[in-house]
A = this chain, B = another copy of it.
Amino acid sequence: MIAFDADDTLWHNESLFLDTQEKFRELLLQYQDAEWIDKKLYETEIRNLEHFGYGVKGFVLSMIETAIELTDGRISGSEIQTFVDFGKKMVAAPVEVLDGVQNTIEALSKTYPLMVITKGDLFEQETKVARSRLGHFFKHIEVVSEKIPASYQAVFKKYEIDSKRFMMVGNSLKSDVLPVLECGAHAVHVAYPTTWAHEQVDSKVLESIHFPKLDRIDQLPDLIQSMINQKI
């Protein structure tokens, strides 16, 4: 079984948040400087994970709270409506499948059962899978609320997957690689240009851990072949 992360592995996602954050920042520059806005928004997002989890709706609520805080409550209702509208646009934004994904997934699906394991908002992830037109290549779509070892163990149990015959492919070291290795399964890192600060991993943690790293997803079939040849 080969499992893929979705956001920033199969399609662009972080860029959508960054673009929205840029528009948010521009609207608030009259009240505060850019650095302060970014810092406060990030702090609010992290604090709100506990209440709202991952996804666009939580992000919108964090933008609203940040804007209220930095204007001491003076921000107007109509400005706040703009942030809600940002959220609606994000949810409806075209799903931009990353270069090489379509061909790679199609090729691998002929030999291996594939699945998606993604964290975040169920509603948002399901609509993205549908709009990506990749859904039919995957045997299962699993949306989990956090990507920790226990979540992967639960998926293995649910689908009766042998962890030694499972490979996770994703762009987040924290979510897609480290917890999977901890479960005794295979993990492959595929680079994405930007990583949300919350997903970043201390470089020291990585020094002692070895796993394949790819620059592009279309290098995956060759990697898998060479792992089979070497009986890894």
Q: Contacts A87-B51, A123-B52, A123-B145: A73 and B77 contacting too (C-beta < 8 A)? A: yes
Complex partner residue of A84 from B65, B88, B140, B158, CB under 8 angstroms: B65
Most B C-beta atoms less than 10 A away, residue of A54, A78, A88, A123: A123
Asked whether A122 lies within 8 Å of B140 as measured between CB atoms, the reply is no
Contacts of A143 on B, CB cut-off 8 Å?
A: 122
Contacts of A226 on B, CB cut-off 8 Å?
A: none
- Of A56-64, A164-172, A193-201, the one contacting chain B is A56-64
Q: Which residues of A contact B (CB under 8 A)?
A: 51-54, 57-58, 60-61, 64-65, 67-68, 71-78, 80-81, 84, 87-88, 91-92, 121-124, 126, 140, 143-145, 158
Q: What are 12 A-B residue pairs whose CB atoms fall within 8 Å in the complex? A: A51-B87, A52-B87, A61-B61, A68-B80, A73-B76, A73-B77, A74-B76, A75-B77, A76-B77, A77-B80, A126-B145, A140-B158
